[in-house]
Amino acid sequence: MSANEFSLQSLIHTEVAVDPAFVFDGTPVSRAEFAEKIERTAAWLAAQGIGKGDVVAVWLVNRLEWVALLFAAARCGAIVAAVNTRYRSAEVAHLLKLSGARLLVVEAAFRAIDFAAILADVARDDVPALRTLAVVGADAIPAQWPCVRFDAFDKTHPPAPPAHEDIDLPVLLYTTSGTTKGPKLVAHSQRTLASHAVSVAKALKLSARRHSLLAMLPFCGTFGMTSLLGFIAAGATIHALDAFEAAPALKILGARKITHSFGSDEMFRRILALSDAPRPFPHLEVCGFAAFQPGWRELAAEAEARGLPLYGLYGSSEVQALFSIARLSDAFTDRIEGGGWPMSPEAKVRVRDTESGKLAAHGVSGELEISAPSRFLGYFNNPDATRDAITPDGFFRTGDIGRLRGDDAFVYETRAGDAMRLGGFLVAPGEIEDELKSCTGVADAQVVAVDLKGQARCVAFVIPASEPPQQQALTARLRERLAGYKVPARIYVVDAFPVTDSANGVKIQRARLRAMAMERIAAE
């Protein structure tokens, strides 16, 4: 197999690595076993007719098969499209169609998720490229497509063709929210993934023998995948949860003497709530966290007092998660802010004044622009969106507001525009609005995010087509089509939306809609 300096394969060949490489559900996996499973999976993909440029959609929880499929796809020159396990039919159909996936590797079942039922609501004509489902954990599931069993780990297949050496081709597609319609696909290569993983290992000064990771974020997202690859590059042991639950996370953190973990503020809040010990985590060194919920500063102070050290960070699908992180030398109030220092010494961050369009001085807020080795290749099959997202001199326009601190660090302040952060994910209002407008009785719809009992939730306003639609029926329909965190907490029927006339046309007053939502909720 290729061990090019910036290939994924190179990450598992570090001389200082320890065993086991992974522990999944209490089962250790050595590096030699992992390398063998990559070879078997590459051969299995080739046997399914998957080769250079073909897209394989992976719809799995955190399991060894997920990681092996990514490394094996790189071996074959194929591309993995990551599917969020919380997606429902409309989202899955959009991703499969946009990626052109020929093969979908899917769970047979996981907890309350009925993968077969979700796929049953995906019209075959909407995803014409999809040929086969490969099921993990069963021979088949009820589906419109031919099913095979994912048995790469169970038996030997004919050898795969020679490894592809081009590390600059797309190998992984993340989903990211656009401003309208469904998510875009963010393409990364082996070089962007592997080089950033090495930067993360170096910047965090990871030691294979001294450090370990609790991986509790989904591998389908850049936050979970980047931390995973960083610790693979460091040669350290990774303890993985198939999906986050506070109780097993708490147990592993203590029993396995975990030193690092990454997650949302809500994850760490739940872990702390389960422990009565004053300082239950004596071995923890760094917990990188993304702040999505109100009260995160108070949480950080409590966590600090109980020996759970939270560090603010920054990232996106386009520049990868863990793009930057705070340092131990920061004052506590600075350390918990989003932003920090870039992991890569080659990364550059600048701020552009949103009013004048000129570069802003230190301390002045504006749009963050980033140039880094971790930057994406572009939006898959979307050259127009790619062109709009990149400046003429190669910086990514993040759409985030922040400021430079004056010591080579920066502070992330908020998301520009109207994108909503729901359930830990960035969601475009247009995605939910389009689903509402497809429902019987809805002529138009607008969606905004509000703070509802300490959680970010969305509220919808709809204009009826004739008879006012019933909220219960609309909610039931959306629950069938969208992930739960995207389903509006309230749906209000209105005669018209508040608008403002401008030189560029009539614009919806989204701030007024948010105020209306809060007024109505308060009245209830």
Low-confidence winner among 237-241, 348-352, 436-440 (lowest mean pLDDT):
436-440
Residue at 14 is within a domain: no
Residue at 212 is within a domain: no
Q: Looking at the structure, do residues 261 and 397 belong to the same domain, yes or no?
A: yes
- Residue 182 has a pLDDT of 66
Q: What DSSP string runs through 350-370?
A: EEE-TTT-SBPPTT--EEEEE
468-494 confidence digits (pLDDT tens): 888 899 999 999 999 999 999 999 999
Q: How many residues does the chain have?
A: 524
Low-confidence winner among 40-49, 288-297, 328-337, 416-425 (lowest mean pLDDT):
416-425
pTM of the model: 0.88
Average confidence (pLDDT) over 72-94: 95
Which residue has better confidence, 425 or 243?
Answer: 243
99-136 confidence digits (pLDDT tens): 999 999 999 999 999 999 999 999 999 999 999 999 99
Q: Looking at the structure, do residues 326 and 382 belong to the same domain, yes or no?
A: yes
Among 368, 383, 415, the domain boundary falls at 415
- Residue 454 has a pLDDT of 78
Q: Looking at the structure, do residues 407 and 431 belong to the same domain, yes or no?
A: no
Q: Looking at the structure, do residues 41 and 65 belong to the same domain, yes or no?
A: yes
Among 392, 415, 438, the domain boundary falls at 415
- Residue 362 has a pLDDT of 94
- Residue 294 has a pLDDT of 63
pLDDT of 437 > 50? The answer is: yes
Q: Looking at the structure, do residues 273 and 329 belong to the same domain, yes or no?
A: yes
187-196 confidence digits (pLDDT tens): 999 999 999 9
Q: Could you tell me what percent of the chain has a pLDDT over 90?
A: 79
Q: Looking at the structure, do residues 451 and 392 belong to the same domain, yes or no?
A: no
For 329, residues 6+ apart whose C-beta sits below 8 A from its C-beta are none
Q: Position of tokens 């001294």?
A: 210
- Residue 183 has a pLDDT of 81
Q: Looking at the structure, do residues 177 and 310 belong to the same domain, yes or no?
A: no
Q: What distance in Å separates the CA atoms of residue 461 and residue 495, rounded to the nearest whole number? A: 10
- Residue 501 has a pLDDT of 55
- Residue 237 has a pLDDT of 98
- Residue 468 has a pLDDT of 81
pLDDT of 215 > 80? The answer is: yes
Quick one: pLDDT band at residue 524, thresholds 50, 70, 90? confident
- Residue 179 has a pLDDT of 44
Question: Contact, 266 vs 426, CB < 8 A?
Answer: no
Quick one: pLDDT band at residue 317, thresholds 50, 70, 90? very high
Query: Pairing mode, if any, of strands 366-371 and 348-352?
Result: antiparallel
- Residue 421 has a pLDDT of 76
Q: Looking at the structure, do residues 270 and 405 belong to the same domain, yes or no?
A: yes
- Residue 159 has a pLDDT of 85
Residue at 35 is within a domain: yes
Which residue has better confidence, 428 or 220?
Answer: 220
Structure tokens given for 273: 């709530």
Among 370, 394, 415, the domain boundary falls at 415
Question: Contact, 323 vs 343, CB < 8 A?
Answer: yes
- Residue 322 has a pLDDT of 98
- Residue 161 has a pLDDT of 80
- Residue 133 has a pLDDT of 98
Residue at 4 is within a domain: no
Residue at 22 is within a domain: no
Q: Looking at the structure, do residues 441 and 499 belong to the same domain, yes or no?
A: yes
User: For the domain that residue 76 is a member of, what is the CATH number?
Assistant: 3.40.50.12780
Number of domains in the chain: 3
Q: Position of tokens 């918990």?
A: 336
pLDDT of 58 > 80? The answer is: yes
Residue at 40 is within a domain: yes
Structure tokens given for 130: 């999809």
Average confidence (pLDDT) over 89-107: 97
Quick one: pLDDT band at residue 76, thresholds 50, 70, 90? very high
pLDDT of 40 > 90? The answer is: yes
User: For the domain that residue 474 is a member of, what is the CATH number?
Assistant: 3.30.300.30
Residue at 471 is within a domain: yes
Q: Looking at the structure, do residues 363 and 431 belong to the same domain, yes or no?
A: no
- Residue 49 has a pLDDT of 96
- Provide the 3-class DSSP secondary structure of residue 228: helix
pLDDT of 180 > 50? The answer is: no
Q: Position of tokens 């007053």?
A: 509
Quick one: pLDDT band at residue 504, thresholds 50, 70, 90? very low
Q: What distance in Å separates the CA atoms of residue 289 and residue 285, rounded to the nearest whole number? A: 13
- Residue 233 has a pLDDT of 97
Low-confidence winner among 234-238, 251-255, 422-426, 475-479 (lowest mean pLDDT):
422-426
- Residue 502 has a pLDDT of 46
Average confidence (pLDDT) over 252-260: 97
pLDDT of 464 > 50? The answer is: yes
- Residue 508 has a pLDDT of 79
Q: Which residues pair with 214 in a beta bridge?
A: 239, 261
Secondary structure in 3-state letters for 92-121: HHHHHHHHCCCEEEEECCECCECHHHHHHC
Average confidence (pLDDT) over 312-331: 96
Could you list the residue range(s) of the whole structural domain that residue 442 is in? 421-523
Q: Looking at the structure, do residues 385 and 434 belong to the same domain, yes or no?
A: no
- Residue 291 has a pLDDT of 85
Q: Looking at the structure, do residues 313 and 394 belong to the same domain, yes or no?
A: yes
Residue at 87 is within a domain: yes
What does pLDDT average to over the chain? 92
- Residue 98 has a pLDDT of 97
- Residue 345 has a pLDDT of 97
